[in-house]
Amino acid sequence: MDKKIYERPILRKVVEGIPNKFGSLKRLRPIESIDNVLIDNLIDQYGSPVFVLSEKTIRETYRTAYRAFSTRYPKVQFAWSYKTNYIDAVCRVFHQEGAWAEVVSGFEYEKALDNNIPGNKIIFNGPDKSEEDLARAINNKSLIHIDHFDELYAIIEMLDELKERPQVAIRVNMDTGIVPQWDRFGFNYESGEAWNAINRILTNGNIDLIGLHIHVGTYITLSKAYATAIQKLAVLATRIFERFQISIGYIDVGGGFASQNTLQGAYLPATDTTPSFDDYAHTITTAMTSASFPNNETPTLILETGRALIDDAGWLAGTVLANKRLADGHRAMVIDTGVNILFTAFWYDHEIYPVHETSFQSEPTTIYGPLCMNIDIIRKNIDFPLLNKGDRFVIKRVGAYTMTQWMQFITYRPNIVLIDEKGKTHVIRKQEDKEVFRRQEMIPEHLKVN
Ligand SMILES: *Cc1c(COP(=O)(O)O)cnc(C)c1O
């Protein structure tokens, strides 16, 4: 009998966490810098918490998206969705890249003008346009996307006082297979309401119908929905041509592309499931090129992509305030960023990373914000290493809807810093201070004495 070869046993420390159905948990690698700028330096210089935006990522993301569409379709125009992030410096990066402005209020409209966008490159969406807003936008030759009949009647009523012929599109809502169906904005396709609106606009004779608009919804991972929308809008375009001999100039498919943030309750991480710009572009441009538009024309394809263009470029760095054990022994960590500045924590499982090496140990942890409110939860349950009071962390992909939907609650909103392409940092929105609030408040005379 052969003697087996002796193999010396080795002891190896298992560094993986508890395996789950996707395999073993990998050790959370720290993220120490953003575009080669140390997060420690950012916090030392600009305070904690601090929002950080990467100009490089914004431009790269935009160029990737633009390339995906423009290589597949001859006429493509992006319009930056202001409500997704209307910090002026951010808007200006998109405008420098060639994006128009897409606004949904008089306030956003003014911001676009202040960012030097000519009126005819501003798309005015939304259900709330005052008569003054409308008159100004029409006289500036902006693209008015009519949301409801009352808005159309308001435009018709002011026709005599206008310097320019209104350039309008209608927003159309329809069944594209997405549930819930967003039927509260615009005119419904299936019921005939959209066709009715078109007839009223074109029989008037003093209004130019230049496009058709749809915004299916947000975080749409089913790119086929866009193809369905385009097919139905092409039917409308054909009917418009048959009845009025007018070709519409553009099809605006709105926004809605998903970002790489994972929705709470999702089975797989979004990085595995979110379609790429190429995926969306393939489906959308296939629908555009195969649809029959009247007169064999090629309408311009407008995109109002918000979330997918900016989410990755935004970071939120902060500091651990405390650790504690809940009544049942569950570990809890309190950090200095709450849902007041990270609204999106209500629907995303935001990725959060330590800034420095941690121990190998990790444990299921609830991460709370600093607000005196029970709903202030940043992560309900995450396998996380132990960070001590004063340790720093960074939250990934927070560029979309945070810096516009944030609210001021019990404390000041923090600095927003832009890292430019050379690695230089710029404050692009100052941290609030008590003067900001003093300016807004007034004390009646009888309350001035105690
Ligand atoms: C919010 C909005 C967008 C941007 O949507 P995303 O889902 O962020 O891409 C575009 N168009 C309209 C009309 C919107 O209301």
43 and 148 housed in the same domain: no
The pLDDT of residue 159 is above 70 = yes
* Window from 33-42, 172-181, 208-217 with minimum mean pLDDT: 172-181
What domain range is 363 assigned to?
Answer: 33-53+312-432
pLDDT attached to residue 12: 58
Domain tally, the chain: 2
Domain assignment present for residue 238? The answer is yes
What pLDDT score was predicted for residue 19?
58
State if residue 414 touches ligand 1 by the CB under 6 angstroms criterion: no
* Contact between residue 119 and residue 142 where contact means Cβ atoms under 8 Å apart: yes
What does 14-64 look like in DSSP terms, one character per residue? ------BTTBPPPP-----EETTEEHHHHHHHH-SSEEEEEHHHHHHHHHH
Contact 104 CB / ligand 1 (< 6 Å): yes
User: Could you tell me if the CB of 307 is within 6 A of ligand 1?
Assistant: yes
Per-residue tokens: 315: 């970071």
Task: Say how far apart CA 278 and CA 290 lie, in whole Å.
Answer: 18
pLDDT of 211 > 60? The answer is: yes
Tell me how far the alpha carbon of residue 86 lies from the centroid of ligand 1, in angstroms: 13
CA of 421 to the centre of ligand 1 (A): 27
Per-residue pLDDT band at 53 (split at 50, 70, 90): very high
195 and 131 belong to one structural domain:
yes
Q: Is residue 361 part of a domain?
A: yes
Mean of pLDDT values over 338-348? 96
Residue 217, ligand 1, Cβ within 6 A? no
Over 60: is that where the pLDDT of 20 sits? no
Query: Does residue 45 sit in the same domain as residue 187?
Result: no
* Exposed / middle / buried, residue 399 (Cβ in 10 Å: 0-12, 13-18, 19+): buried
Nearest to 335, CA basis, from 48, 52, 53: 48
CATH number of the CATH domain containing 156? 3.20.20.10
Q: Quote the ligand 1 centre to 256 CA distance (angstroms).
A: 6
Strands 331-335 and 314-325, sheet pairing: antiparallel
Q: Which numbered atom of ligand 1 lies nearest the CA of 305?
A: 9
Taking phi first (over 0 means left), then psi (-120 to 50 degrees means alpha), and beta for anything else, what does residue 265 get? left
Ligand 1 centroid distance, CA of 229 (Å) = 15
Helix, strand, coil % in the chain, rounded to nearest 5:
35, 25, 45
